[in-house]
Structure 1
Amino acid sequence: MIHRLVGAAVRVAEGLLALALAGMIVMVFANVVLRYAFDSGITVSEELSRFLFVWVTFLGAVIVMGQGGHLGFDLVARALPRAGQRACRILSDLLMLLCCGVFLRGAWTQTLLNLDNLAPVSGLPLGWAYAAAVVAGVGLGLVILADLIAALRGQNPPAPPDVLAEPGA
């Protein structure tokens, strides 16, 4: 059940990431063309692009975590027997959940504090930019929780992507 929920959340994050990236590309490209060709520009595009970049960064972190692609140090854990590896994985997941909770609490506080502060050009609440951290905290927490459940059931962790492999190999 939780694995399907995580999979759905990652797919939603991928869709939002694609939309945000497309929005950034369109706004920045249009602004460059307007500035060089017509000596004008869209003032709000720079601010909105920054907001979207924050969302792209945090959503990307959730997606990469869901794919097992974040950097990790497993040299010691791999040298342990299977029971030791499982214990390290469970401990690691618990510590990451704790960190995720602290992060989420701080992100939520910042979001609430900045809902009344408005961006200078667009007038959008700055809390919307901080809300990206809240969404990422929830998403990362779900991914970690799913891995913790899998570890408690004795299932293997997802294999990280092989970034050094040749395409199509």
Structure 2
Amino acid sequence: MPWLTALNARLSRWALYIASICLASLLVVVVYGVVMRYGFNDAPPYVEQVALLLVISVAMFGASTGVRESGHIGLDSLVRTLPPKVQFWCKVAVEVLSGAFAVSLILGGIEMALSTRGTTIPTLGLPEALRYLPVIIAGVLIVLFCIELLIALFQGRKVEASWH
């Protein structure tokens, strides 16, 4: 278990770094696109596609880190009113459902990547399947994080935040 915690802490930190870099890059790309369009009347055709790739990356890598840090949306006020044993099983259900959702992300991402592998992203010339890479990677990360969280729940311990 310590090796999984160490691995997941590092992966979560890297996912957060990637999301942060993508968010900063998104700001730069969008500002550049706006200035070029409205300031110089010369809109670069690739700005929208690059921004879309960056938005997908920010959302997916940010979400995966949020799962490990248990930062996802929940009904804590309702769950806290329940008996401790029921609270425990609610937490288990959340992790199992999050893991199942992550598996659907992986499978759906792979299916979409395979179905679009022969086409290219307009104005960029990159494979269309590239759009689904962050979804697949985030899905794998979420599965790993859910496994770690489930093990920690059954061991009665808490997972430390990645940025300590």
Unmatched segments (≥5 aa) in structure 2? none
Residue matched to 1:27: 29
Residue matched to 1:162: none
Question: Structure 1 residues 85, 124: closer, same or farther in 2, change over 3 A?
Answer: same
Question: Between the two proteins, what is the percent identity of the paired residues?
Answer: 27
Shift of 1:74: 4.0
Three-state SS of the structure 2 residue aligned to 1:43 is coil
In terms of mean alpha carbon deviation, does 51-60 or 26-35 score higher? Answer: 26-35
Question: Structure 1 residues 130, 51: closer, same or farther in 2, change over 3 A?
Answer: same
Once residues 36 and 91 of structure 1 are traced to their aligned partners in structure 2, the CA distance between those partners, rounded to angstroms, is 50
Shift of 1:75: 4.8
- Superposed CA deviations along residues 24-81 of structure 1, whole A, max 9, x for unmatched, are 2222212222223322132111211111111111111112222211111245543444
Once residues 123 and 94 of structure 2 are traced to their aligned partners in structure 1, the CA distance between those partners, rounded to angstroms, is 43
Unmatched segments (≥5 aa) in structure 1? 160-169
Q: Which has the higher contact order (CA 8 A, sep 6+)?
A: 2
For residue 68 of structure 2, the aligned residue among 58, 66, 69 is: 66
Contact 1:93 1:148 in 2 (8 A): yes
Residue matched to 1:167: none
Task: Please report the TM-score for the alignment, with normalisation by the length of structure 2.
Answer: 0.84
Question: Structure 1 residues 80, 25: closer, same or farther in 2, change over 3 A?
Answer: closer
Equivalent residues in 2 for 1:1-169, closer than 5 Å: 1-75=3-77, 77-156=79-158
The aligned length equals 159
Once residues 79 and 143 of structure 2 are traced to their aligned partners in structure 1, the CA distance between those partners, rounded to angstroms, is 22
